[in-house]
Structure 1
Amino acid sequence: MSYRIYNGTQLLGDVNNKSTGINGLLPATNYQFGVSNYDGNRESSKTTINVKTRGIRLIIPTSLTVNSTIALNYQEYSLGLVPIGTEPAGMFGGGNKRNIQAKVISVDNGKSMVELLEPLESSSTVSVGGTNLAKHTSNTLINRMQVSEWFFIASSGNAATFNLGNYKGQTLTMRAWIDKPTVDVHLQAWTNASNNGYAVGNTIKAGQSGYSRLTFKVPTSFTEWNIPIGNGKAAELAYKEFKVEKGTIATDWSPAPEDTQYIVDNTQMNKLQDGSFAAFNGYRAIYFRQ
């Protein structure tokens, strides 16, 4: 017996456990989720529940009144990145301007936690399963490439989109879709720890495509690590849908939460020279002016 999970009328997938997670949802947004029993042939009627996700929370380093509502100003600088701590003027004046209402949740040591009462985003990718811990992943094939021995998705020596050092002692599952390598290859996780520092996923045969998956208990002590695709031989390959998640179950690919949010949850706004406060994410900015 399995359970079918729905977002409205959209089937998200089947799960075997009595609890699961749905990631990629918009903050401050109403959803109706449904669950039904499914035995492979017949499906029961759905049981539904209406929920509203909480809004993105920001920290403003000033004391405000708890439970009060404040106005934040959102805008985008489409001609380039916002200089940190400086609001461009003139032709860089920003577009897509709108006011966002926020509620003051708490105040502690002169810092106020505020929660946005509406979403910043306009679209969302919804999937069943665990949160993707690796940032900047994609469900589009990375261009085919020539590698001499290994292709390093992430490593301690590079500007990695995933840091294995943040998960010492934890069990992680990693998976990537590998497309028609010219030699047999696999996904691998390695550290220089003396015990349990090496794990290899299933092999994808030359000329074939599929997921290479591995479950890996991260050693509690190490200084170097990497996550590559290959087998130590020259190869040509392409890959997509790299995902790292906690636990032993590999779920469908989904982007990291940081890749779906305009402003990241729990960001502290910085004080500008004019006394206002701002948070930036790329060319997006949100301001609070007292």
Structure 2
Amino acid sequence: MSIINGKACVVDGKPVDKVFSNGEQVYGKNLASGTNQEYVMGYGIPNTVWQDGYAYLKLPLNTAGEILPQDPHSFWYMLTKGTTYTQTIWFETDATVKDLSEAQITWHTGAGHDYQPARVQKLGQNSYKLVSTYTWPGKTYNNVRLFDIGGSSSAFDLSTGTYLKFGKLKLEKGSVATPWTPAPEDALN
């Protein structure tokens, strides 16, 4: 029996990596554990607080270059050279949109930032999905900090609006961003 509906997809008691329906990928296993529980986003700005299932930050802000998970909830993962990965961050804000094409995700290692373009998709009023796909080139350091947003103040005017909320975070293999599900180890425990 397979289960998806907001949980990991499990077939015969084992998590699967991907599920297709009518030739389209509809599920990708979340490789990032702990994204279904409290985490803190911030960096050089006030850190978020956990509220109603979101990492919540009160606006307005005068500046915000980078927004990333803060310790102890940093999301570090060992990536494999030549493998394509997709990071997705769901968020909400009522800040004024400036230029959504300015958003970036940095794939950060001990050697520094590796900024990659991110696509921002508007899902509804004040609701967005930020997606970055990258084939990992392999580096001296392959332990990568994920969900590090760059260019947020270029994409949105964070001096306007009243809030910024981060919902679910997802890392999956491949180039398709599928709906959020917890990592299998989070869903099956």
Q: Same fold (TM over 0.5)?
A: yes
What CA deviation, in whole Å up to 9, does each residue of 1:71-129 have, x standing for no partner?
A: xxxxxxxxxxxxxxxxxxxxxxxxxxxxxxxxxxxxxxxxxxxxxxxxxxxxxxxxx51
Structure 1 residues 192 and 244: alpha-carbon distance in aligned structure 2, compared to 1, 3 A threshold: closer
- What is the TM-score normalised by the length of structure 2? 0.57
Q: Which residue of 2 aligns with 1:208?
A: 126
3-state SS in 2 of match to 1:258 = helix
Please, what TM-score do these two structures have when normalized by structure 1? 0.40
Distance, in Å, in 1 between the alignment partners of 2:69 and 2:80 is 19
Corresponding residue to 1:221 among 130, 134, 139: 139
Q: Which residue of 2 aligns with 1:135?
A: 33
User: How does 1:254-265 map onto structure 2 within 5 Å?
Assistant: 254-262=181-189
The superposition leaves residues 157-203 of structure 1 with CA deviations (integer Å, 9 ceiling, x where unpaired) of x4345323x11312101112221252546351233698x93212124
Identify which of 164, 167, 170 aligns with 1:240: 167
- 2:80 paired residue number: 168
Letter in 2 for 1:214: S
Q: Distance in 1 between matches of 2:152 and 2:22?
A: 46
Corresponding residue for 1:188? 105
CA contact (8 A) 2:90 2:130 kept: yes
Distance in 2, matches of 1:162 and 1:219, equals 19
Contact (CA 8 Å) 1:188, 1:214: kept in 2 or not? yes
Q: Residue by residue, what CA displacement relative to the aligned partner does 1:194-249 show, whole Å, maximum 9, x if unpaired? A: 8x9321212468x7322111101223114474532352538341121211100111
Tell me how far 1:144 sits from its aligned partner. 3.4
Task: Rate the CA distance shift 1:241–1:141 in 2: closer, same or farther, 3 A.
Answer: same
SS in 2 for 1:245: strand
- Equivalent residue runs for 1:29-178 within 5 Å: 128-138=26-36, 140-145=53-58, 148-149=63-64, 150-153=66-69, 158-160=71-73, 162-164=75-77, 166-169=78-81, 170-178=83-91
Greater relative CO, 1 or 2 (CA 8 Å, sep 6+): 2
Q: How many residues align?
A: 148
Query: 1:138 & 1:172 partners in 2: Cα distance?
Result: 20
| % identical aligned pairs | 23
The answer to whether the 8 A contact 1:132-1:256 is kept is yes
Aligned 8 A contact 2:31 2:183 in 1: yes
Q: Distance in 1 between matches of 2:105 and 2:94?
A: 15
Deviations, residues 20-58 of structure 1 (Å, cap 9, x unaligned): xx93438759xxxxx9869xxxxxxxxxxxxxxxxxxxx
Contact 1:187 1:227 in 2 (8 A): no
User: How far does residue 257 in structure 1 lie from its aligned partner after superposition?
Assistant: 1.1
The amino acid across from 1:162 in the alignment is F
Q: Is the 8 A contact 1:172 1:216 kept in 2?
A: yes
* Pairwise CA RMSD: 4.2
Q: How far apart, in 2, do the equivalents of 1:130 and 1:11 lie?
A: 10
Aligned counterpart, 1:106 = none
Structure 1 unpaired stretches of 5+ = 1-5, 13-21, 30-34, 39-127, 263-290
- Native 8 Å contact 1:24 1:255 kept in 2: no
Distance 1:129 1:135, change over 3 A: same
The 1:220–1:28 alpha-carbon spacing in structure 2 relative to 1, beyond 3 Å, is closer
CA distance in 2, matches of 1:11, 1:227: 23
Pairwise mapping of residues 11-30 of structure 1 onto structure 2 (< 5 A)? 23-25=8-10, 28=13
Structure 2, unmatched stretches of 5+, are 15-19, 38-52
Q: What is the DSSP-based 3-state SS (H/G/I as helix, E as strand, rest coil) of the residue aligned with 1:23? A: coil
